[in-house]
Chain A
Amino acid sequence: MRDKGEPVNKNNRVIEKLSSIFGKPVVKRTSIPDCFWALFALSTCLKVLLIPAYYSTDFEVHRNWLAITHSLPLNRWYVDATSEWTLDYPPFFAYFEWLLSQLAQYVDPHMLDVHNLNYASERTVYFQRISVIVVDLVYALGVYSCLRALGIAKKTQQHLAGCLLLLFNVGLIFVDHIHFQYNGLLFGILLLSISALLNDRYLLSAFSFAILLNFKHIFLYMAPAFGVYLLRFYCLNKGRSILNTVNAMMKLLAVGLTPFVLSFGPFWHQIPQVLSRLFPFKRGLTHAYWAPNLWALYNTADKVAAVALRREKSKDGDPTTTSGLVQETRHLVLPNISPAVTFALTLAFMMPILLKLLLTSSTKRAKLIFLRAVVLCACSSFVFGWHVHEKAILMCLIPICLLALLDRTDAKYAYLLSVVGYFSLFPLLFEVDLILQRRIQRRLL
């Protein structure tokens, strides 16, 4: 297209000179970079952008806990009932809130007043939101060490997928950064504990898992998987004498119980009161908003049957399952379910995988089965548990990401479960944020 002739030669020299000064166009590269921390920074930015998003009553719950731990003496923490959102997490979480409150008093002291119910000044919102974002650093550490413990090499597609799945986990972003909770911290500890176990550092794993239990006792549901694995591969390992086994058990017990002593120690004279707060069996079979588990189907069947049989309510004002309040309910047709039944069912459905874990001999294979056991324990407790929250599905969804990275078949099931799982979280949210979820699931494919 350009004209060729005499002046070009002279021009060429000028052009070359110019181009050596001002640069030449670049050629693209295609390898996958190591970008764990860059992705974490990206996810942090995303969370910052979500600060003005809607938050649920959990925001007020945590604000109230800040106020309780800051302004009341230790022996009132689990007694106070000024707000309906009483402290119902184990003591480590309360200490964590106390630590936060030490910072909060410089941000806005009004949020630390127990009587200042539903207080949400701009500073309070920013403080609480940012505290969640900052403690997600623990989660990032957990993800990092887990990916390393699984032996996933950096700069591979697998590593990138792992980072994306875990660091941009839609469920966590929904629940922590929109709905408002501190799950990032908790799952961070869980992942650290899992990674310690995968690295054969059993005592560290037991210790960190015990700490986790003292942050949020719902992780008890996963304890069987940890317990069986540690028993099988730490205590009853091949070639150990009985003395050694007893010794190992003692060590494990000592390490596992230390966090409990540290946590519940200061409350030793009011343990029953604390426990009644932690395990409120009075709250009923299903949560105010039914979690998508067996009991939701059971309740529905009961309602359908009641309508079909034209059975009226037995007494006026007797609470029903859909009243939206947290309280005990009665079924109209089907038999009422007691906590014991739910526990029996939960345990029964955990048994197969636990037995399989117990009977596995190769350590390498056992690790895969252990991860499956963690997921299945969480699943069975979600499906059959007493008073399950819909958010508890995260306990399946986070560990299953690890499983998806290891095994192709597992990845398929993981994909299916994740789609349904994240979908089940939708009622927590309002519409505009939903688009986010498709992206990561598509990555999974």
Chain B
Amino acid sequence: MKSVTNVELLAIACLGLAIRSIISLHSYSGFGVAPMFGDYEAQRHWQEVTVNLKASEWYKNGTNNDLLYWGLDYPPLTAYHSYIMGQVARKVNESFVELGTSKGIESGDHKSFMRLTVLAADILVYIPAVLSMCICLDRTFQTNIKLELFIIFMLCPAQLLIDNGHFQYNNISLGLCIMAIAAILRDRHYLAAFAFTLALNYKQMELYHALPFFAYLLGQCLSQKSVSALASKFIAIATTVVATFILLWYPWLHSLGSTSQVLNRLFPVSRGVFEDKVANFWCSLNVVFKLKNKLLNHQMALICMGATLFFALPTNVVLLKCRNKMSFLWALLNTAAAFYLFSFQVHEKTILLVVLPACLLFNWWPREMMWFLETAVFSMVPLFKKDNLLLPSITLAIIFYIVYNIFWNEKDEDRNIVQTHSIKNISNFLMATVVMASVVLAAPSKFPDFWSLLIAVISCAHFMAALLFGNIQQIIGAFN
């Protein structure tokens, strides 16, 4: 078996960067859509706010900080990141972050600057994290797949399109989470706890991954031989987490009011169970049963929490009982999928959190995970259409598909009774047809959201199947 050289890994990293910079040429969310614009403007606005205001005012409504206009609603680490970028922006061109007057700036220069900040995050956080992850995975499972896995991560269309196309910095939170997973794979539990806390403090959405981390680390504590070893390990991990939190939340800890102010921003119950059409259970259910008319937001939030826990707990209980690393990867997938499908205030972009573990499992389940990744892109098609990113998203999906076929094309002996191969083909055909139809045909005037709803429902069905599949596979792996 030929070994993978560093040059090859570097080449793949460069390929990933090249693709990312090419995607950067395309449009971004909210381009030319005054007065609210989109995520791009949100990120810029945060730079403006953090650079010009004191930390205590970042999350507070004020004359200079209208929270209704893209108020900061991510945890402190995002705010610090915005602050650093804002400082750089000031050096580059002061008008980028001038308080008030810089609203909705849309120049070519500014686009290059913002795109480069994402690329910088890719270079500094995401790519090193992914690379170390690939190497750790190989060592832990005695495989030799780091090159292929690295390619999968570098070309994964969903993450690429959201970060470098639509415009967000998921690469940072995902990168930190990947580091935490890599640390778990190499049994560095404190490092894992630290890295995951950072991820959680970059985007609260990382909560989707929190339960497996908790279950796995708790399991590791429980498998200590003596009670004192258990207690000391548990306390050490807990201290790591709490200390990191305190450090990051320091500016807002001096009073209960300001802490809850931030928390309110992070978990906005008032924003409703979902905003746009998203491929989760509630949005699909909403087609036949109008949830928003019948239930109050707070009731809905409770129902969501119950349902999420109901679907997320079994996999974590299995993980707690069977503490192997494969089970951990499955638990990440299952928990994130359960959160995506059943929790409150889900965005279509959060599917990225499920995509991450899916990429990790690619080696063992290429066909199924490929199918899942395709569906993930498919579920975001309405978003890409809105952002004028349909052409790059379709092209990237094709690129990914071809690369997949180059690397994983051989074995087609039937591995199972359920003919995933033919079902996958049918589903691919269906998805391609729907995408094409949604481009060519206008939605009926009575249902302007017809296509996005159809896409949401189809994707939702796929994701439910994925959740079921993941749970079953985890149980098979755990007890076989």
Within 8 A of B (CB), among A41-87: 41-42, 45-46, 48-53
Q: Does the CB pair A29–B391 fall under 8 Å? A: no
A444–chain B nearest beta-carbon distance, Å: 10
Contact digits for A7-42, partner B, Cβ 8 Å, 1 yes 0 no = 010011001101111111111111101010011011
A1–chain B nearest beta-carbon distance, Å: 6
A21 CB contact (under 8 Å) in B1, B22, B26, B417: B417
Q: Does the CB pair B11–A439 fall under 8 Å? A: yes
B84 at the interface (CB under 8 A from A): no
Of B18, B19, B116, B364, most A-chain CB atoms within 10 Å: B18
Cβ–Cβ < 8 Å partners of A21 in chain B: 416-418
Cβ–Cβ < 8 Å partners of A8 in chain B: 479
A128–chain B nearest beta-carbon distance, Å: 16
B366 to A, closest residue via Cβ: A26
Cβ–Cβ < 8 Å partners of A33 in chain B: 406, 409-410
B10 at the interface (CB under 8 A from A): yes
Contact A30/B15 with A38-B405, A48-B395 known, Cβ cut-off 8 Å: no
B21 at the interface (CB under 8 A from A): yes
Bound together, the chains give a CA A75 to CA B411 distance in angstroms of 61
A445 at the interface (CB under 8 A from B): yes
A308 at the interface (CB under 8 A from B): no
Among A138-146, A343-351, A430-438, the stretch that binds chain B is A430-438
A408 at the interface (CB under 8 A from B): no
B432–chain A nearest beta-carbon distance, Å: 15
B112 at the interface (CB under 8 A from A): yes
Q: Does the CB pair B10–A11 fall under 8 Å? A: no
Contact A26/B476 with A41-B398, A49-B395, A50-B25 known, Cβ cut-off 8 Å: no
Q: Does the CB pair A41–B402 fall under 8 Å? A: yes
Q: Does the CB pair A24–B415 fall under 8 Å? A: yes
- Give the interface size bracket for A toward B: 35 or more
Contact A432/B24 with A21-B416, A30-B2 known, Cβ cut-off 8 Å: yes
Q: Does the CB pair B391–A18 fall under 8 Å? A: no
A442 at the interface (CB under 8 A from B): yes
B233 at the interface (CB under 8 A from A): no
Q: Jot down 24 A-B pairs with beta carbons below 8 A, ordered by A.
A: A8-B479, A15-B475, A15-B476, A15-B480, A16-B480, A21-B416, A24-B415, A24-B416, A30-B1, A31-B410, A35-B406, A38-B406, A42-B399, A45-B399, A45-B402, A46-B19, A48-B391, A49-B22, A52-B26, A432-B22, A432-B116, A436-B22, A439-B11, A439-B14
A310 at the interface (CB under 8 A from B): no
Cβ–Cβ < 8 Å partners of B224 in chain A: none
Q: Does the CB pair A2–B478 fall under 8 Å? A: yes
Q: Does the CB pair B398–A28 fall under 8 Å? A: no
Contact digits for B358-389, partner A, Cβ 8 Å, 1 yes 0 no = 00000111101000000000000000000000
User: Dominant SS at the A interface?
Assistant: helix
B399 CB contact (under 8 Å) in A2, A24, A46, A435: A46
Q: Does the CB pair B395–A1 fall under 8 Å? A: no
A29 CB contact (under 8 Å) in B322, B364, B411: B411
Q: Does the CB pair A23–B23 fall under 8 Å? A: no
A443 at the interface (CB under 8 A from B): yes
Cβ–Cβ < 8 Å partners of B116 in chain A: 432
Bound together, the chains give a CA A442 to CA B366 distance in angstroms of 28
Q: Does the CB pair A432–B21 fall under 8 Å? A: yes
Given contacts A1-B324, A46-B19, 16 further A-B contacts (CB under 8 A): A12-B479, A19-B480, A20-B416, A22-B476, A26-B415, A39-B406, A42-B402, A45-B395, A49-B19, A49-B25, A49-B396, A52-B25, A53-B22, A433-B18, A436-B18, A438-B14
Q: Does the CB pair A42–B1 fall under 8 Å? A: no
Bound together, the chains give a CA A33 to CA B473 distance in angstroms of 30
Q: Does the CB pair A2–B479 fall under 8 Å? A: yes
Within 8 A of A (CB), among B1-33: 1-2, 7, 10-11, 14-15, 17-19, 21-26
Q: Does the CB pair A46–B417 fall under 8 Å? A: no
Cβ–Cβ < 8 Å partners of A30 in chain B: 1-2
Cβ–Cβ < 8 Å partners of B21 in chain A: 432-433, 435
Q: Does the CB pair A50–B2 fall under 8 Å? A: no
Contact A23/B409 with A11-B479, A432-B21, A432-B112 known, Cβ cut-off 8 Å: no
B253 at the interface (CB under 8 A from A): no
A431 to B, closest residue via Cβ: B112
Cβ–Cβ < 8 Å partners of B22 in chain A: 46, 49-50, 53, 432-433, 436
B27 to A, closest residue via Cβ: A52
Q: Does the CB pair A45–B398 fall under 8 Å? A: yes
Cβ–Cβ < 8 Å partners of A53 in chain B: 22, 25
B31–chain A nearest beta-carbon distance, Å: 12
Contact digits for B410-450, partner A, Cβ 8 Å, 1 yes 0 no = 11000111101000000000000000000000000000000
B480 CB contact (under 8 Å) in A12, A41, A45: A12
A436 to B, closest residue via Cβ: B18
Q: Does the CB pair B417–A20 fall under 8 Å? A: yes
Bound together, the chains give a CA A246 to CA B23 distance in angstroms of 59
Cβ–Cβ < 8 Å partners of B81 in chain A: none
B364 to A, closest residue via Cβ: A25
Q: Does the CB pair B14–A19 fall under 8 Å? A: no
A28 CB contact (under 8 Å) in B24, B115, B143, B391: B143
Bound together, the chains give a CA A436 to CA B21 distance in angstroms of 9
B251 at the interface (CB under 8 A from A): no
A439 CB contact (under 8 Å) in B18, B368, B392, B395: B18
Cβ–Cβ < 8 Å partners of A20 in chain B: 416-417
Cβ–Cβ < 8 Å partners of B409 in chain A: 33
Bound together, the chains give a CA A11 to CA B17 distance in angstroms of 48
Cβ–Cβ < 8 Å partners of A46 in chain B: 19, 22, 399
B363 CB contact (under 8 Å) in A24, A28, A48, A445: A28
Q: Does the CB pair B415–A23 fall under 8 Å? A: yes
Q: Does the CB pair A442–B7 fall under 8 Å? A: yes
Cβ–Cβ < 8 Å partners of B25 in chain A: 49-50, 52-53, 432
Bound together, the chains give a CA A216 to CA B439 distance in angstroms of 40
B34–chain A nearest beta-carbon distance, Å: 21
Cβ–Cβ < 8 Å partners of A436 in chain B: 14, 18, 22
B327–chain A nearest beta-carbon distance, Å: 9
Contact A23/B418 with A51-B391, A52-B25, A432-B21 known, Cβ cut-off 8 Å: yes
Cβ–Cβ < 8 Å partners of A433 in chain B: 18, 21-22
A28 to B, closest residue via Cβ: B145
B363 to A, closest residue via Cβ: A28
Within 8 A of B (CB), among A162-198: none
B405 to A, closest residue via Cβ: A38
Bound together, the chains give a CA A188 to CA B476 distance in angstroms of 54
Bound together, the chains give a CA A35 to CA B143 distance in angstroms of 24
A377–chain B nearest beta-carbon distance, Å: 32
Bound together, the chains give a CA A41 to CA B406 distance in angstroms of 12
Q: Does the CB pair B479–A26 fall under 8 Å? A: no
Bound together, the chains give a CA A188 to CA B398 distance in angstroms of 25
B472 at the interface (CB under 8 A from A): yes
B144 at the interface (CB under 8 A from A): yes
A442 CB contact (under 8 Å) in B10, B17, B323: B10
Of B143, B144, B398, most A-chain CB atoms within 10 Å: B398
B145–chain A nearest beta-carbon distance, Å: 6
